[in-house]
Amino acid sequence: MEEFNQFQSKLENKRILITGGAGFIGSNLCETLLKLKAEVICLDNFATGHRHNLERCFDNQNFRFIEGDIRDLKTCKEACNNVDYVLHQAALGSVPRSIEDPITSNEVNVSGFLNMLVAARDTAVKRFVYAASSSTYGDSKGLPKIEDKIGKPLSPYAITKYVNELYAENFYKTYGLDTIGLRYFNVFGRKQDPKGAYAAVIPKFVMQFMKNESPVINGDGTYSRDFTYIDNVIQMNLLALTTDNKEAVNQVYNTAVGDRTNLLELTNLLKKHLSTFDTKIAQVEIKHGPKRPGDIPHSLASVDKAKELLKYKPSHSIEEGIKEAVAWYWNNLKK
């Protein structure tokens, strides 16, 4: 938390709306901003978020919760009223979910996003920072991924997140609304939900290891990702909120570490750090299943743009993040 204290002078007493604030990333942002003495308004409908993620927030006098849906424009406008900044995290994530139900993904991720832009415009929000996605790179073959070189989207989810970027740019050019998009790369860490059909790979595997069950890797395990610890993502959001560099605003940034790990390496890291709690985990075997449709083989971000314009300095490598994350899961969810 110490590395975030530099932001307090700029954020203290500022009113910040966090949509999707009961989710994994949103709730971590809520806690951080409250520690920085900001006023936090959280909007969530609990479609994928959880009330227990906010248990440390409800007793704080600077915290207000609104249960509502971004698909309702009136709710969005009420939430944006008298707000300085918006951190828009609300979305229906997951490539497989979007393939199974593209209509709902579009309603939330596109129509809901547009509602929030309109509400922010109409209430004179100073800056709108939103969660974009590395899925926008689609079938682009080049590595590392550079912000201005993308391919064609490979899933309905990826399409929705690209449309978000187009709308954000249009609202700046048309209405003068300042926006910054953060293309998240496989974020993981404390509070990430290990349950459900669309659970992310790290919390899902951690829970299976803790039960001495064999996780199943989709494919041969050579697919790689730029796994990004939650504290790096929080830093990027704070930098996007507070930057005074005019050139840095109305841009899209990779939000990652700039390193990639394949799934076999990932499972070895998880076993290594979980074995400090239970030595039997080191002996758990890994199983393999079919590849998932819509998955890209490799993902690696260039974070040069964020370092140059936002002065981003990733605080956690993949292994440092894994070490902290598995300790949190062990201490909070081991039963």
What are the catalytic residues? 157
The residues, any chain, with a CB within 8 Å of residue 315's CB and separated by 6 or more, are 3, 229, 231, 232, 235
The residues, any chain, with a CB within 8 Å of residue 53's CB and separated by 6 or more, are 22, 23, 24, 26, 27, 191
Separation of alpha carbons 24 and 257, rounded Å: 19
CA 104 remoteness from chain centre: 19
Separation of alpha carbons 50 and 107, rounded Å: 21
Q: CA nearest 95: which of 156, 150, 139, 137?
A: 156
Indicate the SS3 state at residue 214.
Answer: coil
Alpha helices (runs of H) in 47-140, residue ranges in sequence order: 73-80, 95-100, 102-106, 112-122
Beta pairing partners, 15: 39
Q: CA nearest 135: which of 183, 197, 92?
A: 183
- Contact between 287 and 215 under an 8 Å Cβ cutoff? The reply is yes
